[in-house]
Chain A
């Protein structure tokens, strides 16, 4: 189960603004999905190693050779707002 307060808390963590309708829907939907997911709690998983990666790889290294990066104007080319040198955003404190 998940309640309205938890939905609002998680939305804040995820930087999502939700409408009243979305909050209401999500509270019910997430609860039913979590009920299903919680069935894994019935399994005895003591001593089982968690999988973080399915293919065994270790220390994938490459030579440390400098290569050109994207030109600045290309990197800025898709930005909603720039000052020509960097991405421009409103003040975090405004």
Chain B
């Protein structure tokens, strides 16, 4: 008999529902592991299971929740010192839906402050170690969620993705991460970073777990007028073959910038696609080379507006004892970390008088071109496939001195974010003992299709994540 830890979340849920595994044993196993976390993946761990978890399809399997989600009465700081100790008066819709479906919250996970970062080193509460190599980053911004799932400290987790913040850490930690179509899941109760890009999604051990969580996260929400729900129910994936599925490889995203080890795993994946009956052709995304530039105008511009609310008046930290202006300035000086200040400065500059059209206006036009590129590409292919990250997990401290180098970590994930389309990262294999993620993207609301393709590839790659669980 395999240990509880060897079960995927979906398998554990099934056993609990069949009466073969006790939900309290499952809870205790993970609660003990989360409480003994040596990776700094958790910022808060529940003492005991909530008493009132409904008996639902998620079978009482405990869930790790990124600190970006507001959770009633439980610390929710988006890993920022400016919100240290904040206990929100309400819970984010995505979390509420998952609790209602039977997944009790195990803890809150570490992240880059306000989700700004690609390494988790921008957390106000310390960096997170990658369970595959503790001297390396787990990726970011959902680094705590990714590390927790990879290390078996949590059966599954949720995070948020603005420019790659679910997919990139999933790739670097050897797990599955899905960014759904913009609007699929309510953003209500997610502490806002860049509202036109932010989207919640699952980080899980396998593709089936991702589909199961996603199914219970999607839906229109009267509290978020940009939420659309999903036109069809999210299905659990079942495809074993890829016959007739047309895969496109964009040369703009798969050229010189890839590490040799990443390229090897990517090439092996393309071969597997063909062995499973899929076709692989080149497809052009001519404007994707400008995605990082557009993103680093749009996201900081929206952030500079969203983060204006942190002023020391209604919640969170307050500093200064002079007049109101110095209260604002001192609170923000003390409360925000260096990357958050950098993005606020960048965004405020891009929106300031005389620069607005040159920066924000142009970036929004580039965004249109990028979305048009994808629309055109999806006329000839069903799925676009790339590596998720040009490199494997890098060393702690390696990119902190050069913000631009850190921003370029997101070069393969940002185009899909700007287009609002769904993309999943699955482990493709190892390079020098570190996981390499493969990204599959499809047209808006094609989650069922990319989950199926990811499932078939997952089965054929035979990736083994158990070394990270220790």
User: Does B392 belong to the interface (CB within 8 Å)?
Assistant: no
Are B314 and A78 interface neighbours, CB within 8 A? yes
Task: Report how far A57 CA is from B183 CA in the complex, Å.
Answer: 10
Are A51 and B338 interface neighbours, CB within 8 A? no
Are A77 and B89 interface neighbours, CB within 8 A? yes
Are A90 and B314 interface neighbours, CB within 8 A? no
User: Does A22 belong to the interface (CB within 8 Å)?
Assistant: yes
User: Does B388 belong to the interface (CB within 8 Å)?
Assistant: no
- Knowing A40-B290, A78-B86, the reply to whether A18 touches B341 (Cβ < 8 A) is yes
Are B314 and A87 interface neighbours, CB within 8 A? yes
- Neighbouring A residues of B349 by C-beta, 8 Å: 2, 6, 10, 30, 34
- A70 CB to closest chain B CB, in angstroms? 6
Task: Report how far A53 CA is from B143 CA in the complex, Å.
Answer: 27
- Neighbouring B residues of A22 by C-beta, 8 Å: 338, 341
Task: Report how far A29 CA is from B300 CA in the complex, Å.
Answer: 14
- B147 CB to closest chain A CB, in angstroms? 28
Are B323 and A36 interface neighbours, CB within 8 A? no
CB 8 Å contact bits of A16-50 with B (1 = contact, 0 = none): 11100010011001101110111111010100111
Task: Report how far A38 CA is from B359 CA in the complex, Å.
Answer: 8
Q: Which single member of A33, A34, A40, A55 contacts B444 (CB below 8 Å)?
A: A55
- B112 CB to closest chain A CB, in angstroms? 17
User: Does B304 belong to the interface (CB within 8 Å)?
Assistant: yes
- Knowing A40-B290, A75-B89, A80-B312, the reply to whether A15 touches B404 (Cβ < 8 A) is no
- A17 CB to closest chain B CB, in angstroms? 4
Q: Which single member of A16, A57, A81 contacts B344 (CB below 8 Å)?
A: A16
Are B346 and A92 interface neighbours, CB within 8 A? no
User: Does B420 belong to the interface (CB within 8 Å)?
Assistant: yes
- Knowing A17-B330, A18-B333, the reply to whether A92 touches B365 (Cβ < 8 A) is no
Task: Report how far A77 CA is from B316 CA in the complex, Å.
Answer: 11
- Neighbouring B residues of A52 by C-beta, 8 Å: 196, 364
Size of the chain B interface, CB-CB below 8 angstroms: 71
Are A26 and B342 interface neighbours, CB within 8 A? yes
Closest to A29 in B: B403
- Knowing A36-B293, A80-B312, the reply to whether A10 touches B352 (Cβ < 8 A) is yes
Q: Which single member of B87, B352, B365, B404 contacts A50 (CB below 8 Å)?
A: B365
CB 8 Å contact bits of B337-349 with A (1 = contact, 0 = none): 0100110111011
- Knowing A40-B366, A51-B364, the reply to whether A94 touches B313 (Cβ < 8 A) is no
Are B89 and A10 interface neighbours, CB within 8 A? no
User: Does A14 belong to the interface (CB within 8 Å)?
Assistant: yes
Are A41 and B444 interface neighbours, CB within 8 A? no
Are B333 and A17 interface neighbours, CB within 8 A? yes
- A67 CB to closest chain B CB, in angstroms? 10
Are A89 and B222 interface neighbours, CB within 8 A? no
CB 8 Å contact bits of B397-420 with A (1 = contact, 0 = none): 000000110010000000000111
Task: Report how far A50 CA is from B292 CA in the complex, Å.
Answer: 17
User: Does A85 belong to the interface (CB within 8 Å)?
Assistant: no
B290, B297, B326, B362 pick with most chain A CB within 10 angstroms? B362
User: Does B18 belong to the interface (CB within 8 Å)?
Assistant: no
Closest to B362 in A: A40
Q: Show the binding face of B for A, using Cβ within 8 Å.
A: 86-90, 181-183, 196, 222, 225-226, 228, 287, 290, 292-294, 296-297, 304, 308, 311-318, 321-330, 332-333, 336, 338, 341-342, 344-346, 348-349, 352, 358-359, 361-369, 371, 403-404, 407, 418-420, 444
- Pick the 4 closest A-B CB pairs, nearest first: A54-B420, A50-B364, A80-B318, A78-B315
> What are 21 contact pairs spanning A and B, CB under 8 A?
A7-B345, A25-B338, A26-B341, A26-B342, A33-B407, A36-B296, A37-B359, A38-B293, A41-B362, A43-B287, A45-B365, A49-B368, A51-B371, A54-B183, A55-B183, A55-B420, A57-B183, A78-B315, A79-B315, A91-B323, A93-B323
Q: What 4 additional pairs, Cβ within 8 angstroms, besides A53-B226, A81-B318?
A: A14-B304, A37-B359, A43-B287, A54-B183
